[in-house]
Structure 1
Amino acid sequence: MPAESTPEPAIPGDPGNSTPSRAKGRRRKTRSTRSKALLVTAWTAAGIVVLGGTGAGYLYFKLNGNLKNVDINQALGSERPSKVDNGSENILVLGSDTRSGGNKKLGGGTDDGSARSDTAMIVHVYKGHKKASVVSIPRDTLIERPSCVDAEGTRHDAASGVMFNSAYSTGGAACAVKTVESVTGIRMDHYIEVDFSGFQKLIDDLGGVTVTTTKDIKDPESHLNLKAGSHELNGKQALGLVRTRHGVGDGSDLGRIQLQQAFMKALVDQVKHIGILSSPKKLYDLADTATKAVTTDSDIGSVTDLASFASGLKGISSSHMAMVTMPVQYDSADANRVLVDKDKAELVWKALKDDRPIPKAATKGTATGTAKGVVSPG
């Protein structure tokens, strides 16, 4: 006899389900990011998990089984910056470009299973968890990459003058965290990674995101063609927007970061107004998508831990999120690369260590790209 299939967990509010409908929970904040605005996906994921965990405890094992995590602490050991015990938190959010499976058709490249980090953001949550600063790290930044041990225990040699995103492609999450800590001198308390296909599906599940473009954006490589004006972006279009670097501005990674940061604010604002609590089944679908989309450090590697972590972020709105790009200057030897402006970058890192706002002087006169103001919330 054929094996009986295991029934899916009952979903509150699903037609035909005898379980009473439950809609308890609180609307959450977005996190994410793949291409760079994947911080939005990560933030959203954490928020949806909180919702999914309230009033639907019997779905715990289903959602918990979706989560992937990496033991960063074990991989990196004790050779790390000290924890700062001032009530703040630092989270590294990466958007992974895995060239295999569902991501191949989205990201291009070869189906060799290789992965890159096309997005990197340090999210500093201030004491009291009412404000945050987000520092984007351009993937094309030339850095000194430290030696590191990946999650499988393989050691990778240090390298000089390599692109920042080589850290992830060389040794995965652990080496990416080690590199960020080496560059900044700041310990990363948590790690969240989001992939291509998860980002796209989550935007579709949310019903799209509304943005306004001040200029036409056309980039065949990102499958994006938007006229100036208001648009409700579906998942494919949103992914194209946060990935494009040739469709607007000077075609630089710095310009793309500006688009990503603007999109992230649009999504943070919009999620607060989505009526997901009116549909428990939609809530479950969002929780299912979100937990499949992210990889976390092992400290927040369960639904319970992630929900507790996300609960501490619920007071942060987009108006209380300061977004900057790590201070860099164009490399005179290669226009496609940038170098860390060490003096100005130190102002950023010191502000975060001291749990203070990033001073305007830290980014004045640094390279920024030319896409500012092209995208704004709905």
Structure 2
Amino acid sequence: MSELGPRRSRSGFHPPQGGVEPASARAAVGSASLPPSRRLAGRSIARHGQLPVMTAARSLGKLFSILLVVAVVSVVGIGAAAYLKITNNVQAVDIGNGQDEEAPSFPTLQGGANILIVGSDDRTGQGEEFGEGTDEASGVLNDVNMVVHIAEDHSSATVVSIPRDTIVNTPSCTSDDGVAIDEQYGVPFNSILGEGGLSCIVAAAEQLSGLDIQYAGLVKFRGVIELSNAIGGVKVCVANDIDDPYVGLNLTAGEHTIQGEDALKFLRTRHGVGDGSDLSRIANQQLFLSALLQQVKSSDTLTNPAKLYGLAVAVTNNMVLSNSLNNLDTLMAMAGAISKIPLEQIVFAQLPVASSSYEGKVEPLEPDADTMWASLRNDQPLNVVGPTSTVEATDPSGGTTDGTDTSTDETGGDGTTDGTGATEVATPQPTLVGQEASQTGCANA
């Protein structure tokens, strides 16, 4: 702290050292000719008869007023400091197509929205404990890819996970560094980040889904750690013991509240759940995210400014955001929209895939994948079932083995008539692997 300069008068200037008589001296001379009873009237000491009566109620009222002023000033100061801290921490990129100029105004998100959330294994800035500076950090992959679709009327939200090993064709794009990249054919989805960055992942996801993705965010390891810490941990269920030496996760059967590095390990574990594939890991991530949403909604986190601030700091400190999402009002508007959607109307789904001719890879299963994306574009609900549930088979008569009649007729049923008696049958919705956010489940080793 710098030293304070010489004291100033209230006006900001020192009185001259000579030539002008001090005001106090002039006042003393002027009062000398007054009667003794009036000589004290100009001084700051009041006569006893003029002092107000200080009752207990008046004392409390004055104290309350002081506290109120202090509280208001503190809130304003904290709010300004919070806003500056959040906006100064953000690393943002342009995802192109002029979408970065569109930002909703707080507190209302107008219309629908499509957001791409990417989880990266990039070790840059993550510390030695995550292999920063080692050979393990040489490759940068987008191992988690989720398209979040908020319906136009905000009545529902859908989160679609794209398996990292999905083989796709990518369009030409401009990387985060401004480098033009040609279209490519038959590349694993998780290889896009290393060359093109977040903006090229958005371009590939748009081509795959047919959705206009306006917002995007990329989170690294520490982002998951700090986010789980900010909400005080997430309660998850484990059906049987999980032992994954690859990520160092050891959990006994039962319920656990996990946060910090344990939360990261739970989301990253692949060898510790299911058949050890990325598809099993996606199911595990959906369990975690459902539990997280249940906890966030039950504690009113999305409507509590203090809690939202903690989440915002965790997000902005540890994420790369598109310019369109690099706005406190936008983040608050997103939170406000999601807070109003019932848990049973938030659905997690996995892109339907089939084995690919590329060894160890998968490709979108058609026509199921196209039908799913079309449903999202039209704000239609998805049919999801847990990975361990049995899907009812359809019999040739148009019904299902569970006795439900799905046959059509000329009067409507599952289709409509064109006036000639012909029936236009609606495209049947595929049953997708996933779950509603309101459902609970346990991870299976």
- Using structure 1 for the length normalisation, give the TM-score: 0.75
1:131 aligns with 2:199: no
The residue type equivalent to 2:71 in the other structure is P
Distance 1:285 1:242, change over 3 A: same
Is the CA contact 1:76–1:149 (under 8 Å) kept in the aligned structure 2? no
Q: Percent identity?
A: 35
The residue type equivalent to 1:185 in the other structure is G
1:240 aligned to which of 261, 265, 280: 265
Distance 1:186 1:143 in 2: 16
Distance 1:22 1:291, change over 3 A: farther
1:56 aligned to which of 73, 79, 99: 79
1:351 aligned to which of 372, 375, 383: 375
Is the CA contact 2:117–2:216 (under 8 Å) kept in the aligned structure 1? yes
- Using structure 2 for the length normalisation, give the TM-score: 0.64
2:187 aligned to which of 162, 173, 181: 162
Identify which of structures 1 and 2 has the higher relative contact order when contacts are C-alpha pairs closer than 8 Å and 6+ apart: 1
Query: In the alignment, which residue of structure 2 is the partner of 1:100?
Result: 124
SS of the aligned residue for 1:180 comes to helix
The residue type equivalent to 1:340 in the other structure is P
Distance 1:76 1:283 in 2: 25
Alignment of 1:171-210 (within 5 A): 171-210=196-235
Moved more, 261-270 or 201-210: 201-210
Distance 1:280 1:356 in 2: 32
Distance 1:176 1:253, change over 3 A: same
Distance 1:366 1:132, change over 3 A: closer
The residue type equivalent to 1:66 in the other structure is N
Distance 2:324 2:432 in 1: 39
Distance 1:132 1:373 in 2: 20
Shift of 1:283: 6.3
- How many residue pairs match? The answer is 322
Moved more, 205-214 or 86-95: 86-95
2:71 aligned to which of 20, 28, 33: 20
Query: In the alignment, which residue of structure 2 is the partner of 1:305?
Result: 330
Distance 1:322 1:216 in 2: 27
Moved more, 123-132 or 353-362: 353-362
SS of the aligned residue for 1:181 comes to helix
Deviations 1:267-319 (A, max 9, x none): 11112344879x98776544422321222221221223322333222212432
Kindly name which structure, 1 or 2, has the bigger radius of gyration based on alpha carbons: 2
The residue type equivalent to 1:61 in the other structure is L
Deviations 1:319-340 (A, max 9, x none): 2211111010123552x21111
Moved more, 125-134 or 66-75: 66-75
RMSD: 3.6
1:342 aligns with 2:366: yes
Distance 1:283 1:333, change over 3 A: closer
Distance 2:335 2:131 in 1: 29
